[in-house]
Each structure stands twice: as C-alpha cells, then as structure tokens.
Amino acid sequence: MTDLETRVAPTGSAAPRRAAPALLGYAAVRVLGLLALAGWSAARDKSAFTLLTARWDSLWYTRVAELGYGYEVRLPNGDVHSNLAFFPLLPWLERLLHAVTPLSYAAAGFVVSLVASLAAAWGIFAVADHVYGRRAGVCAVLLWAVLPVGIVQSMAYSESLFTALAAWSLYAVLTGRWVTAGVLASLAGLTRPVGIAVVAAVWAAGAVSFARERGPSPVREAPVAVRALGLFLAPLGTAGYVLWVGHRTGQGPLGYLDVQAGWRNGLDGGYAFARFVLEKFTSFPSVLAGLALVVGVALLIRLYAAGVRARQPLPLLVYTGVVLALALCASSYFGSKPRLLLPSFPLLLPLAVALARLRTARSAAVVAAVAVASAVYGAWWLNGSGPP
C-alpha cells in the first residue's frame, strides 16, 4: 500500500453493528476504570466525580462555559494564566447541554466527554477496520482504552472530543469524503491547538490526490471543487480562534502565542524536555524515572517507525507525526505529555495488528490484565498528582 491506498474495506465498515464488539469492549474497560476510581477515592475520603470534573483544566473549561473568556490569574512570579489558552468547542458544548438539561456545567462536561469517548472509540475502530480489518479495529480500540492514562478519556477534558473529531476526519479522508473531512478538521481545530495535525493530514491527502491526477496513470478522484472545499474548510477552526484571540488581546495574529507564553508553554524543539529527562539521571531513585522516560520516548519513535514500515496511509502518518512533534517539543508541562499523546491512536495500530494475530483467548487475557493495571493506575494517579 502506498500513500492513500488501503486494503479494500468491507461495505459498512463504520456501521454501528460492525463496531459493536469494539464499543462494548471499550465501555467495559472504561466502567472498570471508573469503578476503580470510585473505590480508591472513597477509601481516601475523596469525591471521584470532583476528580473527574472539577480539578485542573476542567475548572478552566467550566469557567469559560459559565462566564466566557476574559478570566486570568496573575502569579507571584509574573506569569499570567489566561483562559484564552483553552479552545472553545468543549465549553460551548458544556454551555449548550447545561442550557437544555438540569446538569451543572461540570456534569455537562463529564457527559460530553463520555459521549465523545465512545465516538472516539468508534472512529478509531472505523480507521483501523478500514486499513487492517475488523479484528485489528477491535484491538486498536481496546488498546486505546487500556492506556495508562486512559482515565483522562472519562474526564471533563477535551482529549476525547478532539480524538473523536480527528479519527472521524481521518476516516472521511481515507474514504474520499472531503467535505466531511474538512468540517470535522475545522471542529477539531476549535477543540485543541493540536488541531493543526488534522489539518495537515487533510492537506497532505489533498496534495497527493491532485498529484495523482497529473501523473502518468491518472487515478479517478472526487471532483476538484469538492476536494478544494474540503481543504478550504479544514483550517478554519484553528485559524478563526487564533485570529480572534489575537484581536481580543490586541497582539495581532501571534497573540495566541503570547497567551501560551503566559503559561510558560511553547515549542523549543524538545530542548527543555531533554534537559528535564537528563536531570533525572543526577540522583537515585529519580534515575528510574529518567530511564522510564527514555524507554517511553524510544517506544513512541519505534511505533511510529513501524507505521512507516507498514506503509500506513499518508494521512495517518502525517497526523501522528505532527501530534508527536507538538507533544514532545513542548517546553513545559512535562507531566502532561502522556495525556497530550492520547489522540495519537495510529501509533497503536502496529500493536493492534500483532494482538489481532493471537488467539482470541490469549488476546482477551492480555487486554484484561492490562485493563486491570490501567484501572488501578488511573485511580492512584487521579488521587495523587493527577494531570496538571
């Protein structure tokens, strides 16, 4: 397979009935994680619901939903944390759900994330099924569910919503639905800054499609106007919000970068992260954490290389590469990197293919064991340091 070429997917590869085993398995893993969190939190006299909906970034999202933009915190060191750093789609959905139901803003965010996580699981299945078949699709969803930081998928955060939009946009590209891909990419761009990864994937696919028409063996594609419309729509979400922030702050097109700088967040090519890792090797037992970080980064690179060797479709490689680059090259919030990598689900496809080759009983045992470990870790993590 090359570029956009994939195996011939069966008819209705994204149909609910075909995706049912993946979705049921995903729901079972998430319920296990929530039960473990509830039990652990009760033992520590904490509220699991508060941990999921009213701490860390979820507080910023609900504040935007309730009061709009304009809130900021000035720290003693001079840093300014502005809620303009948080993209608007999740708060908009929280506000909408709050307006039409008795739910609080926090509860609305929780419901949005639960629904979005199922949509994300379905989208991941659709992509993996289209490229590698149904069994690999089920395995890909289960692997995404049992990630160590999988509990974030059930939090009032934007990771699940973004992953759902990204996965379905990629599926739309792979199946030639250009306008749908562009609309979903635009919505992803209203969800998180990493929405540019979805835009890059759509544009890369578009460039290849136009090049094919001019090649020695032209390939039949969707009408030029349809593809052009999809490519035009894709960046509107990201560009629109970034330009609005620039206008709001009076800093022009680069105003959003100033907002991120107030959070001490930016891109430095990975220098700060590399220094953070190296500092772990100066003492014991922090050296163990340093080794774990090195192994983790090496594994990410190896999985991406495996996708390249397997000749994954170009949109998946571009999308994953941009997500990886943005996550690993960010200059702060090093503890956030595992959850920032949650949307990079194509990294799991080589593992999903390998897992799919095992006998059902063996693959089920592997997933069950990892699911229990993930549930316990998620409960411990949220009751401890948790995501910043």
- Tokens 């049921």 locate to 24
Q: What pLDDT was estimated at residue 213?
A: 81
pTM score: 0.95
Q: What pLDDT was estimated at residue 13?
A: 65
Q: What is the full per-residue pLDDT of the chain (388 aa) written as tens digits?
A: 333 344 444 446 678 999 999 999 999 999 999 999 999 999 999 999 999 999 999 999 999 999 999 999 999 998 999 999 999 999 999 999 999 999 999 999 999 999 999 999 999 999 999 999 999 999 999 999 999 999 999 999 999 999 999 999 999 999 999 999 999 999 999 999 999 999 999 999 999 999 888 867 666 788 999 999 999 999 999 999 999 999 999 999 899 999 999 999 989 999 999 999 999 999 888 999 999 999 999 999 999 999 999 999 999 999 999 999 999 998 877 888 999 999 999 999 999 999 999 999 999 999 999 999 999 999 999 999 898 8
Q: What pLDDT was estimated at residue 11?
A: 47
- How far does Cα 102 stand from its chain's mean position? 29
Instruction: Classify residue 36 as exposed, middle or buried by CB count within 10 Å of its CB (0-12, 13-18, 19+).
Output: buried
| Nearby residues of 191 by Cβ (< 8 Å), 6 or more positions away | 87, 89, 90, 158, 161, 162, 165, 237
Q: What pLDDT was estimated at residue 217?
A: 64
